């Protein structure tokens, strides 16, 4: 039952997800990126095939998804990378674009680190002379805005169908400053390694550029994507992803 006395002294606050989206949007605008978004209900082609993931490709198993009943070849998008295809078809390079906070869906078992619905941020830059150095510079700028000036990043080889070379990106632990210990005790955030795995990245695969209507012999690009829920959990010390969506004011009002 509504009680005016109970609520008169409460002040509104932005949800941690909204705060992180605002930081990312503002930071990318400072770097000259445009903001974009796309539909949550997406075609199989934009979500998979155009991103160099053909039918029956093993990479689809990592994104077991929800199909829309009665609408052929239509899914709830599993990744914001589908926006890359839509943006490339509507814009001529050079361009820099970021999708700062969009919902994606996967058929996941819900637990402390997984949800069937979560948020992603996607970034893409296409020009004639972009390199991995440009990618690293953009990444470090954003990570410093989110986690502090002492954060640095490193690349590790990986595999994603839509980028080549493909990279895993780690950042130095912002809680222990990359040392692995806090006051002599094991850092629980990085598990004493000094590094935190944060996102996937790489140079846009020529097939993806071509599927977006861009000539890969003239243009190249870089891209990376990060789960915003994971950023919120790291930044604010949350141990369970479900806390983000429960609407518990005791949690939200702390930030």
Q: Quick check: 221 pLDDT over 90? A: yes
High-pLDDT (> 90) share of the chain, %: 58
* Helix/strand/coil for 104: strand
pLDDT digits over 76-120, tens only? 998 899 999 999 999 999 999 999 878 899 887 777 777 888 899
- Average pLDDT of the chain is 88
What is the model's pLDDT at position 2? Answer: 40
Q: Which two tokens stand for residue 117?
A: 């619905």
Contact 62, 71 (CB under 8 A): no
Question: Of residues 129 and 107, which shows the higher confidence score?
Answer: 129
The structure's pTM equals: 0.86
User: If pLDDT is split at 50, 70 and 90, which confidence band does 9 have?
Assistant: low
Residue 103 CA to residue 116 CA, distance in Å, equals 10
Contact 52, 81 (CB under 8 A): no
Contact 46, 81 (CB under 8 A): no
CA atoms within 13 A on the CB side of 4: 0
What is the model's pLDDT at position 1? Answer: 42
- Which residue from 174, 179, 180 is spatially nearest to 148, judged by alpha carbons? 174
- Which residue from 218, 227, 254, 195 is spatially nearest to 16, judged by alpha carbons? 254
* Helix/strand/coil for 221: strand
What is the model's pLDDT at position 58? Answer: 75
Q: Quick check: 144 pLDDT over 70? A: yes
Range 29-58 average pLDDT: 91
Structural domains of the chain in order of their starting residue, each with its CATH number: 18-252 (3.30.930.10)
- Which residue from 106, 137, 59 is spatially nearest to 227, judged by alpha carbons? 106
pLDDT digits over 150-203, tens only? 888 999 999 999 999 999 999 999 889 889 999 889 998 888 999 999 999 999
- Which residue from 39, 42, 38 is spatially nearest to 74, judged by alpha carbons? 42
Q: Report the chain's terminal Cα–Cα distance, integer Å.
A: 26
User: If pLDDT is split at 50, 70 and 90, which confidence band does 236 have?
Assistant: confident
φ and ψ of 136, to 5 deg: -65, -40
Residue 198 sits at the vertex; the CA angle it makes with 78 and 122, to the nearest 5 degrees, is: 45
Give the list of residues 6+ apart from residue 94 with CB closer than 8 angstroms, or none. Answer: 126, 127, 128, 219
User: If pLDDT is split at 50, 70 and 90, which confidence band does 208 have?
Assistant: very high
């Amino acid at each position: 039952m509504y009680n005016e006395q109970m609520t008169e002294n409460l002040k509104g606050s932005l949800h941690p997800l909204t705060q992180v989206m605002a930081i990312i949007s503002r930071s990318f605008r400072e770097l000259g990126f445009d903001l974009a978004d796309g539909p949550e209900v997406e075609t199989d082609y934009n979500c998979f095939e155009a991103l160099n993931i053909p039918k029956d490709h093993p990479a689809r198993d990592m994104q077991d998804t929800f199909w829309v009943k009665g609408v052929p070849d239509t899914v709830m998008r599993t990744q914001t990378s589908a926006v890359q295809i839509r943006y490339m078809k509507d814009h001529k390079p050079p361009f820099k674009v970021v999708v700062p906070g969009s919902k994606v869906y996967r058929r996941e078992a819900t637990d402390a680190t997984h949800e069937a619905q979560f948020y992603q941020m996607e970034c893409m830059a296409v020009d004639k002379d972009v390199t991995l150095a440009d990618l690293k510079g953009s990444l470090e700028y954003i990570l410093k805005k989110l986690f502090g000036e002492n954060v640095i990043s490193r690349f590790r080889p990986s595999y994603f169908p839509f980028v080549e070379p493909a990279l895993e990106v780690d950042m130095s632990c912002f809680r222990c400053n990359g040392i692995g210990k806090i006051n002599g005790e094991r850092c629980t955030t990085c598990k004493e390694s000094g590094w935190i795995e944060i996102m996937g990245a790489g140079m846009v695969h020529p097939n993806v550029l071509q599927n977006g209507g861009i000539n890969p012999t003239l243009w190249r690009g870089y891209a990376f994507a990060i789960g915003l829920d994971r950023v919120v959990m790291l930044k604010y010390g949350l141990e369970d992803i479900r806390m983000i969506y429960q609407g518990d004011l005791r949690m939200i009002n702390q930030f």
